[in-house]
Amino acid sequence: GLEVADLKTGNARAGRRYFESACTGCHSATRDLKGIASRIEGLALLRRMLYPGGQPGMPARRPTATVTTRDGQKITGEVAARDEFTIAVVDASGRYRSWPTGRVSFTIDDPLDAHVKQLARYTDATMHDVLAYLHTLR
């Protein structure tokens, strides 16, 4: 298991380098994450870093999709359903629309996808380094 003392083993300087190479496409130490360590610390900050969508009190940011029909019409909306047979969105007017996946093309933009991909890349050391860096953002 993870001990609270384990959270203090990271190198903040190395964490900053990692953050700047992997996280700045979506995050900024001086904008969205400014003062994060004054609001969240320790294990709660680690959880938010690793699993940002599964946190109580955080608004769930649902993925959006842009669906392109065979006649070239583009419909963008929040993903309402998706499986191997169907893609469905709720468009800007609030209308539910769905299509068989074989009859349209679509792209999905999931803001949390980067965190999922990052989970596979973190080593224990880099995870603790980034956490140590985030703890400097007060």
DSSP 117: H
* 74 pLDDT higher than 60: yes
Q: What is the pLDDT of residues 12-65, one digit of tens each?
A: 999 999 999 999 988 999 998 999 999 888 888 888 888 887 655 555 567 899
pLDDT average, residue stretch 66-87? 95
At residue 60, φ and ψ (nearest 5 deg) are -75, 125
Angle (CA) 20 15 53, round 5°:
75
Adjacency order of strands within the sheet including 86-91 = 96-100, 86-91, 74-82, 64-68, 105-109
Task: Supply the pTM of this predicted model.
Answer: 0.66
List, in order, residues 6 or more apart from 105 with CB less than 8 Å away: 67, 68
Q: Could you give the CA distance from residue 74 to residue 62 in angstroms, rounded to a whole number?
A: 19
Q: Is residue 135 within a helix (H) or strand (E), and if so which, with residue range?
A: none
